[in-house]
Amino acid sequence: HSYPSYSKLLLLCTLSGGGVVAYAELQSDSRPPSVDPNEPRRKRVVVLGTGWAGTSFLKDLDALKYDVQVVSPRNYFAFTPLLPSVTCGTVEARSIVEPVRNIIKKRRGEIKFWEAECVKIDPANKKVFCRSSVDANLVGSGDFSLEYDFLVVATGAQVNTFNTPGVKENCHFLKEVEDAQRIRKSVIDCFEKAILPSLTDEERRTNLHFVVVGGGPTGVEFAAELHDYVQEDLIKLYPTVKDIVKITVIQSGDHILNMFDERISTYAEKKFGRDGIEVQTGCRVVKVTDKDITMKVKSTGEVCLVPHGLIVWSTGIGTLPVVRDFMEQIGQVNRKVLQTDEWLRVSGCESVYAIGDCASIHQRKIMDDISSIFKAADNDNSGTLTVKEFQDVVDDIILRYPQLELYLKSKHMLSVTDLWKDPQGVDREEIDIEGFKLALSHVDSQMKTLPATAQVAAQQGAYLARCFNRLEYCEEHPEGPKRFRESGRHVFRPFQYRHLGQFAPLGGKQAAAELPGDWVSMGHSTQWLWYSVYASKQVSWRTRMLVISDWTRRFIFGRDSSRI
Ligand code: FAD
């Protein structure tokens, strides 16, 4: 085949905020390739989901090699890290979404997209059953099924309410773009209601009590955004209630941001303390009504009622019904996410792959491998290694498992290095292997579950696309070059996650960042780093320009508080 391609120079001049923005975008041909009837049938790949994992897979997949169909109830990709900014109008909802059809039309080859929800996966017959998510009253059936040779499940996850009574009915979630838009309206509702002359002071206070349940990155970022919104914009518009606005973060653990470095969670707690954001740690929400939250203090068992105006529930992720049903069919019961092997194939299910928040990798071999590295190093079978031998072993482990480097060289190494000292604090000459393995077994369990982040999802999507692109070549040349010789279970090297760091915006134009190599950065300069990283990570030039222009608009004019 030859696919004529041309480049189109698109010059868009947007008059925005008094500035003229122009950019050029190169687009490749979007015409479908001509079909040769003698050509063997291309393998059918069905992709479920157009979030971080699904989109990253589609962007890197060589669509000329496969017959690709994509199913998702959202016909756009959403840049979730900026969702908290949408709740307060710092950026507009449309600035952080990119239509899926824009993304796939830039790919060579044909990718079909169906705006529908997958309601059932039938692995025995290699079929998925779907239902249209267009709820307008239009003619024709919205139910259809698709057959696949390979299925890529990238459906993400849903909010986890831990079956707490009243949460679904009375709390806002922050998972989808629509959730962020609803929160934005509700915040304004709380203010408009609170200033009405008919209310008592107590009622005003209740309406202006904003509660965030969950002290993870999303909850903390939302609390910080809301605080900025209130202090920078709303108290100027609603001066009569400026002293009674209250923001509370309820966290069941001992600290907020407890998945971050300790220095960051301490910094965040201190900053929130200075800003007047109340942080209630060690408390579990047991019930929610439209008026109040029932909360149990873990240490004392004391139960208290917290009146609220608006609650945002952000306590982690749970399993989607379609994934749960699939897991039951393949015998993966009592799990939160689909278990895959290191090549992202769903365990016990040929030709189904799972990536992103709906999956977790089961790392079977790490501890076994590490044990054999030790055994080889321990020549005299003494159960101990000299310091030099020990360092060689650590280097060897890092060489085989680069993803362990961060753990070995950072905080977990602190407990490991305790082994170097005897109780008097004097350096030992020899290191006990079992003690080290014990310390490392903790690392191993950490490695089993990668964090549910966009970074992991995007890397998995790109990895899987690279495998698919080389699948045919590797089948024809089983001797290499990318053969993973040692295990022989698959032609590719296993997926390896590269942690590039993570951010926690803390409001007041300050952010904290945990970067590779145990490097921590906090303050105003980190916020600028955040702006540049998030602008550069946008999926298209269009959204990049929109987000930057929203930030500029906010700096100049403040946020828009209209309730539309
Ligand atoms: P998603 O991105 O959720 O995509 C799932 C896709 O599947 C969607 O297109 C959905 O419509 C579709 N789908 C759902 N059900 C079906 C079905 N039945 N059939 C077909 N398709 C279906 N991570 C970071 O790394 N950094 C951050 O700063 C960060 N901030 C975040 C802030 C917020 C507010 C949130 C909610 C998350 C944030 N995350 C962040 C986490 C990150 O968004 C997720 O880890 C990431 O979205 C997971 O990607 P995914 O593709 O697995 O799922």
Q: What is the mean pLDDT of the chain?
A: 84
The confidence band for 115, taking pLDDT boundaries of 50, 70 and 90, is very high
Ligand 1 centroid from CA 65, angstroms: 27
Atom number of ligand 1 nearest to Cα 53: 51
Residue 378 has pLDDT above 90, yes or no: no
Which residues touch 459 (CB under 8 Å, ≥6 apart)?
Answer: 56, 495, 497, 498
Domain extent, residue 287, equals: 167-316
Return the pLDDT at 397.
Answer: 74
Structurally, the chain folds into a number of domains equal to: 3
Distance, CA 215 to ligand 1 centroid (Å)? 19
Q: Tell me, yes or no, whether 498 lies in a domain.
A: no
In a domain, 63, yes or no: yes
94 and 211, same structural domain?
no
- Whether residue 311 is found in the same domain as residue 325: no
Question: Is 29:3 a contact under the CB 8 Å cutoff?
Answer: yes
Q: Does 548 fall in a domain? A: no
pLDDT at residue 88 greater than cutoff 90: yes
Determine whether the shortest distance from the Cβ of 357 to ligand 1 is under 6 A. yes
Answer yes or no: is the C-beta of 320 below 6 A from any ligand 1 atom: yes
Q: What is the average pLDDT across 337-360? A: 90
Ligand 1 neighbourhood includes 467 CB (under 6 angstroms): no
pLDDT in tens, 196-230: 999 999 999 999 999 999 999 999 999 999 999 99
Could you give the CA distance from residue 379 to residue 395 in angstroms, rounded to a whole number? 18
- pLDDT for residue 30 is more than 60: no
What type of residue is 504?
A
Is the CB of 216 within 6 Å of ligand 1?
no
The predicted structure's pLDDT at residue 387: 73
Ligand 1 midpoint to CA 52 (Å): 6
Ligand 1 midpoint to CA 175 (Å): 8
Burial tier of 334 (Cβ tally within 10 Å: 0-12, 13-18, 19+)? exposed
Instruction: Write down the pTM of the prediction.
Output: 0.81
- Is residue 10 in some structural domain? no
Range of weakest confidence among 207-216, 238-247, 355-364, 407-416: 407-416
* Mean pLDDT in residue range 139-159: 95
Establish whether this prediction's ipTM goes over 0.90: yes
Is the predicted pLDDT of residue 377 greater than 50, yes or no?
yes
Q: Is the pLDDT of residue 363 over 70?
A: no
Task: Give yes or no: residues 407 and 285 share one domain.
Answer: no
The pLDDT of residue 519 is 85
Percent of the chain past pLDDT 70, that is, above it, reads 80
Identify how many contiguous H helices and E strands the chain contains and give both numbers. Answer: 18, 28
For residues 240-263, give the mean pLDDT: 93
Task: Tell whether 207 and 265 lie within a shared domain.
Answer: yes
User: Pick the residue with more confidence: 136 or 306?
Assistant: 306
CATH number (domain holding residue 258) = 3.50.50.100
Closest atom of ligand 1 to CA, residue 74? 11
CA of 361 to the centre of ligand 1 (A): 17
Q: Which of 46, 47, 52 has the most ligand 1 atoms within 8 A of CB, as the residue to mutate?
A: 52
Neighbours of 521 (CB within 10 A): 15
User: Which residue among 435, 463, 478 closes a domain?
Assistant: 478
Please tell me if the CB atom of residue 223 comes closer than 6 angstroms to any atom of ligand 1: no
Q: Are 417 and 440 a contacting pair, CB within 8 Å? A: no
The protein residue whose alpha carbon is closest to atom 16 in ligand 1 is 155
Ligand 1 atom 31, closest CA: 81
Residue 78 has pLDDT above 90, yes or no: yes
Q: Is 73 in the pocket of ligand 1 (CB under 6 A)?
A: yes
Buried b vs exposed e over 142-174: b needs ≥16 C-beta within 10 Å? eeeebebebbbbbbbbbbbbeebebbeebbbbb
pLDDT score, position 380: 80
Nearest residue (by CA) to ligand 1, atom 10, is 49
* From 313-317, 354-358, 386-390, 424-428, the region with the lowest mean pLDDT: 424-428
Determine the residue of 453, 526, 530, 536 to mutate for testing ligand 1's pocket, defined as the one with the most ligand atoms within 8 A of the Cβ atom.
453
Q: Based on the fold, state whether residues 352 and 417 are members of the same structural domain.
A: no
One-letter amino acid identity for 178?
E
* pLDDT (mean) for 4-22: 37
CA of 238 to the centre of ligand 1 (A): 35
**Same-domain pairing of 398 and 442:** yes
What is the mean predicted confidence (pLDDT) over 96-113?
Answer: 92
Alpha helical stretches, state H, 451-558? 454-476, 524-536, 541-557
**Each residue of 501-524: pLDDT tens digit?**
899 999 988 999 988 877 899 999
The verdict on 256 and 396 lying in the same domain is no
pLDDT, one tens digit per residue, over 273-289 is 999 999 999 999 999 99
Same domain, 63 and 146: yes
Is the same domain home to 188 and 238?
A: yes
